[in-house]
Amino acid sequence: MRPTLLILAAGIGSRYGGVKQMDKVGPSGESIIDYSIYDAIRAGFGKVVFVLNPKIIDDFKEIYEPRLKGKIETEFILQELDNIPEGIEFNHERIKPWGTGHAVLVAKEFINEPFAVINADDFYGRHAYQLIAGFLNKSKNDDTGYAMVGYKLKNTLSEHGTVSRGVCRVISGFLTDVVERTSIRRKDDVVVFEDEGEEQVIDEDAVVSMNFWGFTPKYFKQSEEDFRKFIAENADQLKAEFYIPTVVNNLIKSGKATCRMLTSEDQWFGVTYQEDKPVTIEKIRQLVEEGIYPENLWKD
């Protein structure tokens, strides 16, 4: 059975100022998602599942159902606040989604094979999909050996503002911990992050997580246990979020799972800020000129 690609596309993008998931960056009007799916199909994925916000699901369906018909199986599902374990109440003034960990969980009824998880607005590159597909093709549904595609920090910075990154600790090819660092930026000839109001230098070659994971269906059961604890402790909170790296860290430290580190040679890029868009358009244009992608991804 071929692996599935799970795309987390429920965010609206407050810093970006629009629905960046569908913003056109390719020469024939493609979004970053188009390139992700194209690379996944080339790597042998058999299905794509979109996790979406109710405000944008109709637009996604209108675009991607006809575009992907006959090319790859598709599912469109919602990440909604009330999609939580039974018997738990939460503050109904809350608007913010429960986070990436919850976004993965809402897909559990739609995925019955090893799967990869990506962000909708991140360009990961062809090599990354080949790496994760190779790993998932050897995985069984009840395996607890997972994987993550990592990138060098210096290849993931924005020229137009700070970013947050999960900095990875790796021993003998396996992830041992992910530490979230915020307000990362290049300052003169070094890269710095902010810690309790103070700037600290960080190795620009450090491997960071860009939320590109490889899991099996076993992960759904394991992460749901963590989510039950999280939601019980944070039910009255308006902004607390349940993140994938938190779940993975807990599983690694408790000995319930391992996570192999797969380091991609591709350069990551994305559209965190509106100012990133022209840079992204130019990088994709270069990849088209190099023959890595066709001028029109979906031309029959």
Residues 193-212 pLDDT 10s: 998 888 999 999 999 999 99
The rounded distance, in Å, linking the Cα atoms of 69 and 85 is 34
Backbone φ and ψ for 280, nearest 5 degrees, come out as -65, -45
DSSP state of 22: G
Confidence of residue 276 (pLDDT cuts 50, 70, 90): confident
Give me Rg for the CA atoms of the chain: 19
Task: List, in sequence order, every residue forming a beta bridge with 260; answer none if it has no partner.
Answer: 147, 174
Helix or strand (DSSP H, E) at 42: helix 32-43
CB 110 within 8 A of CB 82: no
Q: What is the per-residue pLDDT across 114-171, written as a single tens digit (0 to 9) for each?
A: 999 999 989 999 999 999 999 999 999 999 999 999 999 988 888 778 888 889 999 9
Per-domain residue ranges of the chain: 4-289
pLDDT in tens, 287-297: 999 999 999 99
Average pLDDT over every residue of 261-289: 87
Model pTM above 0.75: yes
Residue located via tokens 């308006």: 238
The owner of tokens 């992700």 is 36
Residue 55: pLDDT band (50, 70, 90) is: confident
192's tokens: 């710095």
> Mean pLDDT for the chain?
90
* Residue of higher predicted confidence among 142 and 299: 142
For the record, the structure tokens of 194 come out as 């902010």
How many whole angstroms separate alpha carbon 148 and alpha carbon 67?
29
* Residue 172: per-residue pLDDT: 96
Distance CA 143, CA 249 (A): 17
> What pLDDT shows up at residue 40?
98
One-letter amino acid for residue 45 of the chain: F
Q: What is the pLDDT of residue 21?
A: 67
Residues in CB range of 243: below 8 A, 6 or more apart: 99, 100, 101
How many Cβ atoms are within 10 Å of 288's Cβ, its own excluded?
Answer: 18
What residue spans of 86-207 are helical by DSSP H?
100-105, 126-136
| 109 CB-near residues (< 8 Å, 6+ apart) | none
Q: Domain 4-289 adopts which CATH fold?
A: Spore Coat Polysaccharide Biosynthesis Protein SpsA; Chain A (3.90.550)
pLDDT of 12: 52
CB atoms within 10 A of CB 190: 11
pLDDT at 175 exceeding the cut of 90: yes
In the chain, % of residues over pLDDT 90? 66
Residue 244 has pLDDT above 90, yes or no: yes
Given pLDDT bands bounded at 50, 70 and 90, which one contains residue 16? very low
Asked if 273 and 16 touch (Cβ cutoff 8 Å), the reply is: yes
Q: How confident is the model at residue 20 (pLDDT cuts 50, 70, 90)?
A: low
* Most confident listed range (90-99, 181-190, 248-257): 248-257
